[in-house]
Every structure is written in structure tokens, then in C-alpha cells.
Amino acid sequence: MHITLWPKGLIGRITAVILIAIVLEFIGSILLHDQVDTYTTREDHARRVAELLVVGERLLKEAPPEDRHIILQSLSTKHLTAQLSDRPSVKPTTDEKLNRLRTQIVAWEPSLDNNTLRLATAAPSERGKGQDLVGAMQMEDGHWLEFRSRDLFGRWPMLYRTVGTAAILAGGVLLAAAMLVHSLGAPLRALAEAADNVGHGETVTVLERGPRDLSQVARAFNAMQTRISRLIADRTQALAAVGHDLRTPLTRMRLRAGFMVDPENREAMEADICEMETMLDSVLAYLKGDSDNEPHRRIDLAALVSTLVDANADLGRDAIYEGPDHLVLETRPLAMKRAISNLIENGLKYGDRVRVGLDRADGEVRIRVEDDGPGIPEEELEHVTSPFFRLDEARGRDTGGLGLGLSIVCNVVEREGGRLRLSNLAKGGLCAEILLPMAERQSTMG
């Protein structure tokens, strides 16, 4: 199974893009802020060290030896301490980073350029801090003024502050983006639900709200739905008129056929009239399609199927039912009866025996109709559900009809959220299966 992390929905993709942009901005701001903060901090340290050295040298040079420790204490702070020594504890270095820092110190106080100034790094004086800067400058009397600047090369404290600030900013931006995406997604979700309901024959009006583009889409959808409803209404009226106008002459023809003296011609005429009525019923049932507003009801599907099988058996046809005594399903009773009846009629039309099975497995209800006819060529199985498709030559009989039986079955089953599956039996004959979803509110009995 292929798994992808990229969302499939539009709202999910917009959210993912915003999230990626925030993460990139987050990383970039950390790096930039860290560089700026590091440069600013070192420049500030260089200024403090330069002031300490210049002021310290002047005060110590003029002060008597017994007062020098007082001066050193007054010059020392929490982050920068100073002391005098006879020998420097700092050795000369060629480190490029320290040499750049020395250049910054001299740039702040050019008078220090003539003094011997050594810089080095030392272990932090406090736990959890970065490296300290230590240094020594030789004064005119030969003593060395040493200093320690704490946490000059530390990165983690600054990084923590930067991460915290950026995280708060990113969280706020993400929250605002989520609210914006939700407001954009609500009209789209409403439009998707309305389109799905319209596809099942319901009329839904979408509120024309949200951004201009989305409101235009909702307005166009409502207009399209109005046009479709008008077309369906016109077609329904036309069907009613056609049904009435055609049945009237057929009734007159049947009445006139009853007065015919020749029995053979009378039976032939009545057979033609029955065939015409069957064709008319098939066409009207197919064209009626989604305009059928029959409501869903809980029915005993097992009783319905067994009744249809028994009705054919009473007419002397070889029809057998195999299944439970009761199975409750929520469906459109008349439409489902028409679909199952069509499959049984097809099986008996092209074969001599029909076996109808009913069972439930894997959350689906299966209605299985098997006949012993010639079957259907494998390459034509996917075409036989098309309207007006005839395959009488392959089935080997002059059966009449318009090729709408399986089309009607397919339409009914699809409206119920199921599917029609056709296959040839190994022993010969066709197997037609109606697979319907079994919702939680539906249950079996007996």
C-alpha cells in the first residue's frame, strides 16, 4: 500500500504549504538572528574591554600601590573582572578569531595600539555558559593588567532565546493561518456536500458567502442546480405525457384484438401488444432514473427476494431461493424489487433454471442470481450494462426487448451506493451479483 505524507484535500495542502513556509522562516530567522546577535555581542564586549584597559591603565598609573586593589574592584563588574600580575597568564596566540577581536578593541581605543595585548579563551567560570575571553595588557611599569570577559563565545543561551521568540511568533502565525484556512474551507466543504446530495437526487441551496471567488462558485452551482431541476421536471412531464399517449392506443389495440375471429392472429396481436407495453415500461423506468423520489424504508429483503422467486415458481418456472428467512435492509423497496425482478427475468429468458441466493459478509449484502444460459463473452461483460445494448446473437435466442434491463438494475444499485458485478460460471451460465453496503443501523433477523 502506497502511503504519502502529502495531503489529498485542498485545505490540507494549503495548511501544509503554510506550515512549510513557517518552518523555513523559523529556521532562517534563527540563523540570521544568531549571526546578528553574535556580532553585536562581540562588538559590545570589545568596547567594554577597550574602556576597561584605557581607564584602568590611567587610574593604576596615577594611584599609589596600596590603592590599586580598590581601583581594580571598582573597575570589575559581574561580566568583566580585572586584576594585576607580575607575569602574564595569557600566552601569545595566532587565532584568527582572537586577532579580529583585538582589532575591534584597538578600533574603539586607538591608544592601545602601542601596548602589548594578548587574548585567549578559557573554560567558562559558570556552569552552562560559553567560553570566556581572557586577556592581558602590559603597562608602562611592567605590570600586566589582566581581565576576564564572561560568556563571550557562548551560543546556546542566545540560541535558546532566539528559538523561544521564533516559536512564539510561528505559533501565532500558524494559528492565524489555521483560522484563515478554516474560513476558506467551510464554503468548499459545504459545496462538496451539496454536490454529493444533488448527485443523489436532493435539492440543496448553497449559501453564497465567503471570498468573492468562492461566492461566485456557489452562485454558479445554485444556477446550475436550478437548470438541472428544470430539465428534470420537464423530462418528467414529458414522460408522463408519453406514457399516457402511448398506453391509450395500446389499450384500443388490445380491445380490437379481442374481437378478432382468427385465434392465431389474435394471439400474435396480443403478444405484440404485450411486447410493446414491456418495451414502454422499460424505457419509462430507465428514463425516470434519478427523478424517482421513492423514500428509503426498512424492509425484509429476504422476504422480498423469496416472494419474487415463489411468484415465478408458481408460473411453472424453475426458480430456487437459497438464503436466510429474514434480512432487514434500508432501501427503496419498489426500485430494489424492480432490479431483482429484472435479473430473475433475464436469467429465465436466457436459461431454463435460476438460482437466487442472499447472504451477508464483510459489511455487504449480496444478492446472487445464477442461470444456466449461454453466458456473456468476457469482452462484452463491461458493455452489457450500457443502455440499449443488445447481445441476443450471443445469447442464442430471439428474446426481444430494448436492452435496458441490466441498465435499470445498474442505476438502481448505484443509487443505493452499491455495485452490480457480472461474471460467467465455470459450468456455464451467467452470475449477476448485487452488492449493497450494510449500514450500522441495518441488522439481520432470524
Q: Residue 62: its pLDDT value, please?
A: 82
Taking residues 174-179, report their average pLDDT: 74
Q: Parallel, antiparallel, or unpaired for β 318-322 and 353-361?
A: parallel
**Minimal CA–CA distance to 154: which of 34, 276, 309, 10?**
34
Q: Residue 132: its pLDDT value, please?
A: 80
Taking residues 425-434, report their average pLDDT: 90
Q: What is the pLDDT of residues 1-23, one digit of tens each?
A: 445 566 666 566 676 777 777 77
**Is the model's pLDDT at 39 over the cut of 70?**
no
Query: H or E element: which one contains 404?
Result: none
In 201-329, which residue ranges form alpha helices assigned H by DSSP?
212-257, 263-288, 301-314
How many other CB atoms sit within 10 Å of the CB of residue 63? 14
Q: Parallel, antiparallel, or unpaired for β 328-331 and 318-322?
A: unpaired
The answer to whether the predicted template modeling score (pTM) of the entire model surpasses 0.85 is no
Q: Which CATH number fits domain 294-437: 3.30.450.70, 1.20.140.10, 2.30.130.10, 3.30.565.10?
A: 3.30.565.10
Q: Residue 57: its pLDDT value, please?
A: 84
Q: Residue 302: its pLDDT value, please?
A: 93
Please give the distance of CA 343 from its chain centroid, rounded to a whole number: 38
Of the pLDDT bands very low, low, confident and very high (cuts 50, 70, 90), residue 310 is very high
Residue ranges per domain, the chain?
Answer: 10-157, 222-287, 294-437
**Is the model's pLDDT at 354 over the cut of 90?**
yes
Of the pLDDT bands very low, low, confident and very high (cuts 50, 70, 90), residue 395 is very low
Q: Lowest-pLDDT range, 62-66, 121-125, 340-344?
A: 121-125
Q: Which residue has the higher pLDDT, 412 or 365?
A: 365
Taking residues 188-199, report their average pLDDT: 75
Q: Residue 359: its pLDDT value, please?
A: 92
Question: Could you tell me which CATH number the domain at 222-287 has?
Answer: 1.10.287.130
Q: Residue 12: its pLDDT value, please?
A: 67
How many other CB atoms sit within 10 Å of the CB of residue 418? 22
Q: Residue 20: its pLDDT value, please?
A: 77
**Is the model's pLDDT at 303 over the cut of 90?**
yes
Angle, helices 68-75/10-62, rounded to nearest 10 degrees: 160
DSSP states of 3-70 as a string?
--SS-SSHHHHHHHHHHHHHHHHHHHHHHHHHHHHHHHHHHHHHHHHHHHHHHHHHHHHHS-GGGHHH
- pLDDT > 70: what percent of the chain? 76
Cell numbers 561580566 correspond to: 79
Distance CA 104, CA 120 (A): 15
- For residue 236, the 8-state DSSP code is H
**Is the model's pLDDT at 257 over the cut of 90?**
no
Taking residues 182-186, report their average pLDDT: 70
**71 touches 57 (CB < 8 A):** no
**Is the model's pLDDT at 352 over the cut of 80?**
yes
Largest CA distance in the chain: 154
List CB contacts of 88: < 8 A, sequence separation 6 or more: 118, 136, 138, 144, 146
**Minimal CA–CA distance to 363: which of 437, 446, 441?**
437
Distance CA 176, CA 195 (A): 29
**Is the model's pLDDT at 260 over the cut of 60?**
yes
**Is the model's pLDDT at 72 over the cut of 60?**
yes
Extract long-range pairs of 383-388: CB within 8 Å, 24+ residues apart.
384/422, 385/409, 385/410, 385/420, 385/422, 387/286
Of the pLDDT bands very low, low, confident and very high (cuts 50, 70, 90), residue 340 is very high
Q: Residue 248: its pLDDT value, please?
A: 79
Taking residues 416-432, report their average pLDDT: 89
Residue 72 has, within 13 A of its CA and on its CB side, a CA count of 16
Q: Grid coordinates in use for 377?
A: 463473452
- Look at residue 353 and give its three-state secondary structure: strand
Average pLDDT, the chain: 77
Of the pLDDT bands very low, low, confident and very high (cuts 50, 70, 90), residue 397 is very low
List CB contacts of 271: < 8 A, sequence separation 6 or more: none
Strands across the sheet containing 364-371: 318-322, 353-361, 364-371, 430-437, 419-424
Distance CA 355, CA 361 (A): 19
Q: Residue 439: its pLDDT value, please?
A: 61
Q: Lowest-pLDDT range, 78-87, 232-241, 359-368, 432-441?
A: 232-241
* Class of the CATH domain delimited by 10-157: alpha beta
How many other CB atoms sit within 10 Å of the CB of residue 102? 20
Q: Residue 327: its pLDDT value, please?
A: 92
